[in-house]
Structure 1
């Protein structure tokens, strides 16, 4: 009877307490409030014990600092609404306005300063007066470079005698061939003075020559700058872009051009000097000379078994042409029988799956955009745009990409380790969702973390965890997370009044190493402000999908042990041994750049260019930025 009496009184005692809270407690929260937190968390750790001695050791050590849960705080009378942390946005690109080049210092130079005359013709000093009233618009840094160079070197670069010299003729040819590199020749146009003139018109000829001199310098410098670092500043497109400035001393460029007799070699050397850039240039030339695809398939086709489409015969023809001999031999009869059939019958499903498998696609038997793009390719115009976009983006990168290096191409969903010009290792990756896009930048790999902790970003704490924590404050305690304050002290999540926080939570949250840890066995760090790194994942099934945009922004690796061994210059067995020893870190003791890149056209190591879907629509945004630049340049002549 005594026990029965207590079993009735205990819930009654807490009924009044619970009645004062606006949110009903979950059963497991009530258990924590009565008997202390961490019970279920300890159980999950116990389940993991015995699998790894180092985990057992850490488990025993953590018992001494296990946070003690306090009764869940009451909901605030007026809880603060959650203000979600937004992802970076895309901006309307604003190109820098052009400025007038100032010739004031040249025009007003004291007369006692001598100008070296050009042999056999007009001297620069005699021609400078022709700059009076001349409006030449150029980019601000180019205008400054012109002013600086001619103040220090008051002489012609592009004129000899009374005509454009051989240096100028060659430079003009290079500018006219800008389209070879995906640039717009119209943005570098300069009209040279006519060859013939009347000697009685020397003052007018001097004016023509000196103005041509300045115009050609401005456009050559524009070409060199565009070739070296691109026409747009990528960081203005979005916060997802993060590229360092590529400094270029344009006055020194003009100094060099004034001394060389081979301006072509110098100007073309300002383009990136790597094999991938050259492969894209070659691809552009081939594309422009080629005809349109002979078989054009609707890019939005989505055909499932049992469906009907006039596009099916085209796809069957492409399967037969693009697949290997073994495929053609096995399915020759079926391909011939259904060559003109518009109905996707069940007996065609194995054929479609085999074709998809031959191209490394997910063999799901559905003929969708990914399958169409792989076999039919994109239109000629679309491929040209993709290559021109890739050329522009490569100019944002170092000219020498480095060796060894890791190259992650988000639209391809691949990560590749390249050494001595050879792709030694390539694997599938998962990248960020459209709402949590992976950024576009490059960095340098520093270390490997084995059995890592996962420091939960504020955006995930606020946007995804906070709503649940308001209803279930003990959630983190039970799920393998540690909560610490600004001083590093461990706190039970159930003791925190989560209702009082909205856009900023003043606690750090990290997930402890375990089989369920979001980062899996290891992560590969290249510290950056975007908190992006490569890592393992327990969600292995996602690698079987063709489109792999599922993460919060980090890059999940299909073969993390292989990549870790590659960048460390060691073996997979070494990496496995380190994982078996528990949580630890290992420094990468050599320089390995990592490119977290975004290219919808990209060459393999043999120079063959592959094309990919623009999953984040970044090509379109770059096209608009380039249009903005062109509008400013064209408006100024």
Structure 2
């Protein structure tokens, strides 16, 4: 948005314009009937472009809530303008021009038509602000087809009725996401803004590999950068000593890197990310936090794709955590972002091969060799196993292939020995895997989209602990039977599959992760197009 066209909002407050008499024209508490009728007609006309706003006024008898001369109207105006002024603090677009336009419109009121138009304009500005603050500025699915999260719908008439029936400042505060994570992100945003404004973290570190015992300008630059970031106490040492190695370890841990205490290419690349870029990640994370419904569940599962982790959270505390593998960064394999509810687990599962995998990967192999992928059973529409030798696979296309494929329970099963189900149209779930070696990788994007767990048995024990005295014995007894067994969760558990390159743990400083799918870059670009801007910074 353009700057410098109007006085700063703070100056408008000091000028006392919130107590303005609307250009000398306001509806009194006992107005003339003709004046009221003209006002209502003007308001109805002006509000008609926003049906839900118009619906509120119809229910409200077209009474003014902003432009009256009563104290309640004045308090609402003041609360709205203060909220608009503070929007950039929350990573929303600067509203300086919008405030000036609304102020000018109020000051220029001379007729009942002017007043009705001003009333409608204030309501529309409020509703837009409330929606942006409460549920986010952007629509996720318009940015990336893997961001399928549904935002809560906020009806304008409900918002306006809530404001009318509440203390205005308190209602504006209630629109701000009420989560510990959002508050922590806001604090980190303010901290990074100050760091960036003051020049950032100093000189970048030359590319290379630095390890214990090394000396030279690169080591000194690394030392100074980590000191500026808060990972190392002030030191004059020019050697890659134990203190610097420990600082590198701490940095690697907080950035999702392999923790070896050696500053190699990947670590140096992350060390050199500027405060300005980290600030973008924080603002994107704040927007993403607004997309999540405030009711996360007293107990819930949180999968952060960029962190390659899956956690069980109870009353805000992480009670279990394990590594995860997410979808490969290609085509339609990227794991989607959404929330659902886990209802059951299946021990000794069969793998029912998704149709997309059958037609894209296995049908070409079967055409070339009917005995290909022999670990999978081919079944007809009644579930009966088909004799491969009696089928001419070359006659089928991806559309006409009439069979299903499945892999019976076994230690070699693609789903491993347990899967955790939250039925959804994306066919995504959490599961075990026989490919344990993948969990040692730093970047773990290898699946077809589902989330693979490093410690699935322990994950199951933690879930079952709420409904059985000895969850491990219960689980192992079913496992040893070898039979495919569905186990319902008596307490269904919300699952939130999120994508955060920036987050703040309950304890410790903010952590950052790489943008593995490039989604945050798209979100930031969309925020910029919507008017979000960084302050004038140097870092």
The normalised TM-score by structure 1 is: 0.68
Q: 1:234 to 1:510 in 2, by over 3 A?
A: same
Alignment of 1:109-508 (within 5 A): 118-119=28-29, 124-128=36-40, 143-152=50-59, 153-161=61-69, 165-186=74-95, 189=99, 191-193=101-103, 204=110, 206-244=112-150, 246-260=152-166, 262-290=167-195, 291-297=198-204, 301=207, 303=209, 311-315=218-222, 336-337=238-239, 361-363=257-259, 367-368=263-264, 370-372=266-268, 376=271, 378-435=273-330, 436-477=333-374, 479=375, 481-504=376-399, 505-508=401-404
Please say if residues 276 and 607 of structure 1, whose CA atoms lie closer than 8 Å, have aligned partners that are also in contact: no
User: Relative contact order: is structure 1 or structure 2 higher (C-alpha 8 Å, sep ≥ 6)?
Assistant: 1
Structure 2: distance between partners of 1:412 and 1:208: 54
Please say if residues 470 and 498 of structure 1, whose CA atoms lie closer than 8 Å, have aligned partners that are also in contact: yes
Structure 1: distance between partners of 2:246 and 2:506: 30
Please say if residues 351 and 407 of structure 2, whose CA atoms lie closer than 8 Å, have aligned partners that are also in contact: yes
Q: 1:353 to 1:520 in 2, by over 3 A?
A: farther
Q: What is residue 578 of structure 1 aligned with on the other side?
A: 478
**What is the Cα deviation at residue 422 of structure 1?**
0.8
Q: What is residue 8 of structure 1 aligned with on the other side?
A: none
Structure 1: distance between partners of 2:250 and 2:170: 47
**What is the Cα deviation at residue 249 of structure 1?**
2.5
**What is the Cα deviation at residue 553 of structure 1?**
1.0
After superposition, give the CA deviation of every residue in 1:407-451 in whole Å (9 maximum; x if it has no partner).
000011111111011111112111111111011101111111112
Match of 1:605 among 490, 506, 509: 506
After superposition, give the CA deviation of every residue in 1:325-364 in whole Å (9 maximum; x if it has no partner).
9xx9xxx99x64458xxxxxxx9x9999967887674356
After superposition, give the CA deviation of every residue in 1:61-82 in whole Å (9 maximum; x if it has no partner).
xxxxxxxxxxxxxxxxxxxxxx
Structure 2: distance between partners of 1:355 and 1:628: 36
Q: What is residue 43 of structure 1 aligned with on the other side?
A: none
Structure 1: distance between partners of 2:28 and 2:295: 40
Structure 1: distance between partners of 2:276 and 2:497: 27
**What is the Cα deviation at residue 465 of structure 1?**
1.8
Please say if residues 417 and 425 of structure 1, whose CA atoms lie closer than 8 Å, have aligned partners that are also in contact: yes
Q: What is residue 93 of structure 1 aligned with on the other side?
A: none
Structure 2: distance between partners of 1:577 and 1:304: 51
Q: What is residue 432 of structure 2 aligned with on the other side?
A: 536
Structure 2, unaligned runs of 5 or more:
1-25, 533-539
Q: 1:132 to 1:269 in 2, by over 3 A?
A: closer
Structure 1: distance between partners of 2:63 and 2:231: 65
Q: 1:188 to 1:608 in 2, by over 3 A?
A: farther
**What is the Cα deviation at residue 483 of structure 1?**
0.9
Structure 1: distance between partners of 2:248 and 2:361: 38
**What is the Cα deviation at residue 621 of structure 1?**
1.8
**What is the Cα deviation at residue 125 of structure 1?**
3.2
Name the SS of the counterpart of 1:538 in structure 2. coil
Match of 2:517 among 592, 616, 619: 616
Structure 1, unaligned runs of 5 or more:
1-115, 340-346, 632-637
Q: 1:214 to 1:540 in 2, by over 3 A?
A: same
Name the SS of the counterpart of 1:588 in structure 2. strand
**What is the Cα deviation at residue 463 of structure 1?**
2.2
Name the SS of the counterpart of 1:218 in structure 2. helix
Structure 2: distance between partners of 1:502 and 1:353: 54
Please say if residues 406 and 417 of structure 1, whose CA atoms lie closer than 8 Å, have aligned partners that are also in contact: yes
After superposition, give the CA deviation of every residue in 1:114-153 in whole Å (9 maximum; x if it has no partner).
xx9631778543445666996x8x9x6xx01222222332
Structure 2: distance between partners of 1:427 and 1:596: 14
Q: 1:250 to 1:320 in 2, by over 3 A?
A: closer
Q: 1:463 to 1:364 in 2, by over 3 A?
A: farther
Q: 1:225 to 1:365 in 2, by over 3 A?
A: closer
Q: 1:160 to 1:309 in 2, by over 3 A?
A: same
Please say if residues 431 and 554 of structure 1, whose CA atoms lie closer than 8 Å, have aligned partners that are also in contact: yes
Name the count of aligned residue pairs: 489
Please say if residues 303 and 498 of structure 2, whose CA atoms lie closer than 8 Å, have aligned partners that are also in contact: yes
**What is the Cα deviation at residue 587 of structure 1?**
0.8
Structure 1: distance between partners of 2:246 and 2:487: 47
Name the SS of the counterpart of 1:159 in structure 2. coil
**What is the Cα deviation at residue 573 of structure 1?**
4.1
**What is the Cα deviation at residue 368 of structure 1?**
4.5
Q: What is residue 38 of structure 1 aligned with on the other side?
A: none
After superposition, give the CA deviation of every residue in 1:292-345 in whole Å (9 maximum; x if it has no partner).
44245469x5648899996554335567898999xx9xxx99x64458xxxxxx
Larger radius of gyration: 1
Please say if residues 432 and 554 of structure 1, whose CA atoms lie closer than 8 Å, have aligned partners that are also in contact: yes
RMSD of aligned C-alpha atoms?
3.9
Please say if residues 209 and 262 of structure 2, whose CA atoms lie closer than 8 Å, have aligned partners that are also in contact: yes
After superposition, give the CA deviation of every residue in 1:181-204 in whole Å (9 maximum; x if it has no partner).
21113285364457998xxx9x82
Q: Does 1:524 align with 2:433?
A: no
**What is the Cα deviation at residue 542 of structure 1?**
1.5
Name the SS of the counterpart of 1:606 in structure 2. coil
Q: 1:217 to 1:433 in 2, by over 3 A?
A: same
Name the SS of the counterpart of 1:589 in structure 2. strand
286-295 vs 363-372, which moves further? 363-372
Please say if residues 29 and 70 of structure 2, whose CA atoms lie closer than 8 Å, have aligned partners that are also in contact: no
Alignment of 1:538-557 (within 5 A): 538-557=434-453
